[in-house]
A and B are shown apart, each in its own frame.
Chain A
């Protein structure tokens, strides 16, 4: 049984509006079982239980408590969920309590209350801002192995989850006319006005309900149900990009999906993001129990949580008086107001006086006194204050156990600034507010520095109406006008950034500016003394305003401190950059549905299922997965590859070549076009015949190769490499559309239409003849009527096919193309017809060894984007008679013809069983230090055909080094010796394919 929450006030009018006392919920914090109510946030439930200490700070490991009410919270970052479902660095103020919630504190060891790391606080005079730039410099190797790991362990926030996140995430792409960010009073007014004007409106509100903080001020308004308004609650606008493209993260209540990312394009964006209360820098202003005044009021009004037994409100403006008034009204103990202003005149000030609340004007809190290692406030010290005071002389003690602070309000301008919006400093509110923006962005209400409720509502409504009109392309109407009624009389805010202490800034008198990054007034002033006069440099040197918080509470306070330290006005100092995301965003939301089986769209050929059933090993080729080899039970990968190769050389093999790119090219200029894109000639190719082509870029380097068949006089079918299909199609279109629009050529990629299988080996023709007997056939397969490098269309075994008699293995070989939906049937028919001939399915590795035995290049292995036809010994394919082709002029550059270029050669290792690793470097002298590399291995295999290892390599002047033995030093000191030979290892006359 848990004891009743000690700080939860009994039911009374005006407090606890959001909680349902009839629905208690159990949750744990660091394993301890606690109780809250439905409607609580984790923060309110913790406070109700008197859990003031919720985390340790980033650098000094100081005890920290809850400071804020919403997204401004910088201290209370916790982790929720266990194991793989764990999510760190969540703001306790944004977590809705549910039964069984398990939350843990962060950055403490061994426990939150007793944390070893807090010794950092004692040594803090040795680790000021920027300390890591000055220390840990020597010896050099220590940074990597000792200092950095230690700092990383000591500093930091939560721990990463231990495995894959089991929750589901998704994304959706939506457009709207008007997006309103923020469902407070002005945002609701904007959404309603825009919707009534006929626009398609989306309203995003980060909290579970609409209304913003109106309930903590002068009230709010409702949004009528309108069909053209889509309301997203629990949805935070994370980022604003060019042309009003925004990312909104919606938190759903379950795990399936857990979050949804809205990728939204809005014609108009209205920011009604409100304002963020800021703290004041005084000594030990980070102690648990020091909270923002609005937050104290919020926990009391919404969740009936008493901030303590006896409190102090410290302010420089009228709004915080509301907090004292509510505490008084709710009977939540005594409270005293400390106001830095000497003579404020506002209705709220008068009201507080009438209510009998003690008010000390012209005073400031100068120190917070605590017990239990800083975990419990005992009293505050108060001293007379006037702007510019350097050190208080006399202090008095006020016993209290909490402190509500308000240093004024900053319009939440983050989204305004994400994509270049300008700000101006407004001395009426002593904060930056939106100025100009290049995009169609509006800021209304508190986000625009308009804090009066009636004014904010009117501002929202006017913006909504005008934005809708502009989005819909209508002239702006003006049915809504600003209210004439005078706003409530309110005393002016006076800047109060730093309240000096009687002691030094450090030694237990730290004045925190940025709580999340442990940046103090002393750090900022030190940065100024050290010459970091640019505000961006100060930010980087001290880490002020960085990380997940992005300076929500610290930015203006820090600027105020810098202003006082340098004597420059705040607008002259300028602001630092605000970066997305607005609050921490989990990686799952960024990935969306694209994880697990949807991580990548892997392309499958029509024979894929058969290959899976055979237990194929796979190789990624572009987005395709191709069968690498087909090991039989008990067979190693190497044994399988050797078996497949020998089957092709001795009998017949079957390869799935469907992934090869296929492009149809047609038009009266098609032949001329191909003459320009290939180095060799295609206008001379006869209909019914095929030719291998070599494709260069403008620089003269090989980018693709493949066989092209002439289907008709004006009609060709080009084959490309598997990975190059899309790139080559785009390349062809680019030349046709941008360089040679006068050519009458049409290009259509057809890769996906066809399944294509290679039947290769001495028995290939016999297999096709057997297939022909099984059904309708009209293709004459005899060597005389179907010669090498010819193609035929027709029927075989009942299949509608194109057959190309081409070879990448050096054997007699036919590639049969069939419409994809018949692919699996044809594959099976070939296996059946080939069975008596020992047909063997072979994968890409066998394919590669077979071609290497023949010295054929693979684009991407033997070429790397800097290799010319001459380099790989294919000069013969470069036409000397054609007037032009892409890359021709570059091939004439002196340095591409000069001696010393790397040339393709074959290699035979001294030890025939030694297979050189791919990429191994040849050196001119293995003993030299350092050795001079002269080339590298591009392909290397164990050839079962030749019963020895073979390799291809690009070697400086390689072709003139025939017979020379080169040294290849490998990792570990071993040196492999290999002799340069012709890369044509097998059947140099090419007799086998020509039968």
Chain B
């Protein structure tokens, strides 16, 4: 059985966007800067090149880009949306992202999560805000095969979540659900 690899993703910048997707021109304004349309389907995401947009709520998205582009992109988005009711904040340092790779990554996250990620609802591209180890968190299913999950938590508890994940992922405690193993 393959090992679950856990690593911290430190090169992603994160921009929090709030606004009304139904307002005329808002989505076009965002698309003109990002080069992709905002995902509107709940718990979905959209990606193009190095930009990924995660749906957080009916009026909120998290845009992830290479870290050193976040500041400039925030300014460009804010400028493009200047005439709109919108709030763009560079929150690149607010969260810690843990990337889990390997078949069984879902089970590792499920040891702290409030949802069953092996459900067919959670295919690649799905974003789900949930409680993880009793903390506010978010899971982004990056890829089904190979299995890659990104777990977003707030920075101040990153050390705790790392310890939780490493504890949950130790080989002696491996859980295989419904034969999910090679």
Contacts and interface: CB of A to CB of B under 8 A. Distances in A.
Interface string A749-792: 01111100000000000000000000000000000000000000
Contact of A820 (B85, B87, B93, B119): B93
A949 interface: no
B178 A170 contact: no
A976 interface: no
A838 interface: no
Interface stretch (B25-33, B45-53, B162-170): B162-170
Interface in B155-182: 155-157, 159-161, 163-164, 167-168, 170, 172-173, 175, 177-179
Nearest to B153: A601
Most buried by B among A598, A601, A666: A601
Interface stretch (A171-179, A354-362, A429-437): A171-179
A601 B85 contact: no
Contact of B160 (A230, A254, A598, A605): A598
B120 to A, nearest CB: 9
Interface string A736-747: 000000001011
Nearest to B116: A175
Given A227-B179, A601-B134, A604-B159, A173 B113 contact: yes
Contacts of A171: 111
B5 interface: no
A139 interface: no
A601 B157 contact: yes
A168 interface: yes
Nearest to B96: A752
B172 A200 contact: no
A172 B132 CA distance: 11
A597 interface: yes
State which size class the interface on B falls in. 35 or more
B156 A664 contact: no
A748 B18 contact: yes
B110 interface: yes
Contacts of B116: 173-175, 265
Interface residues of A, number: 44
B114 interface: yes
Contact of B110 (A173, A603, A605): A173
A260 B175 contact: yes
B89 interface: yes
B156 A603 contact: yes
A605 B167 contact: no
A906 to B, nearest CB: 36
Nearest to B176: A230
A601 B93 contact: no
B107 A748 contact: no
A604 B119 CA distance: 34
Most buried by B among A265, A667, A752, A800: A752
B176 to A, nearest CB: 9
B16 A748 contact: yes
Contacts of B87: 664, 666-667, 746-748
A556 to B, nearest CB: 38
A750 B167 contact: no
B102 interface: no
A233 interface: no
A605 B133 CA distance: 20
B156 A753 contact: no
A358 to B, nearest CB: 54
Contacts of B114: 173
Interface in B53-107: 59, 71, 85-87, 89-95, 107
Contacts of B157: 601-604
B115 interface: yes
A250 to B, nearest CB: 10
Contact of A254 (B113, B133, B172): B172
Contacts of A175: 116, 119
Nearest to B111: A172
Contact of B94 (A228, A598, A750, A800): A750
A168 B170 CA distance: 11
A256 interface: yes
Contacts of A168: 167, 173
Interface string A153-169: 00000000000000010
11 contacts: A173-B115, A174-B116, A174-B118, A593-B111, A594-B133, A601-B157, A604-B157, A667-B85, A746-B86, A748-B87, A819-B90
For the complex of A and B, the 3 pairs showing the least CB-CB separation, nearest first, are A603-B156, A752-B94, A820-B93
Interface of B: 16, 18-19, 59, 71, 85-87, 89-95, 107, 110-116, 118-119, 133-135, 154-157, 159-161, 163-164, 167-168, 170, 172-173, 175, 177-179
Given A173-B110, A820-B155, 11 more contacts: A172-B111, A173-B114, A173-B115, A174-B110, A174-B177, A601-B161, A664-B89, A668-B85, A746-B18, A746-B19, A748-B18
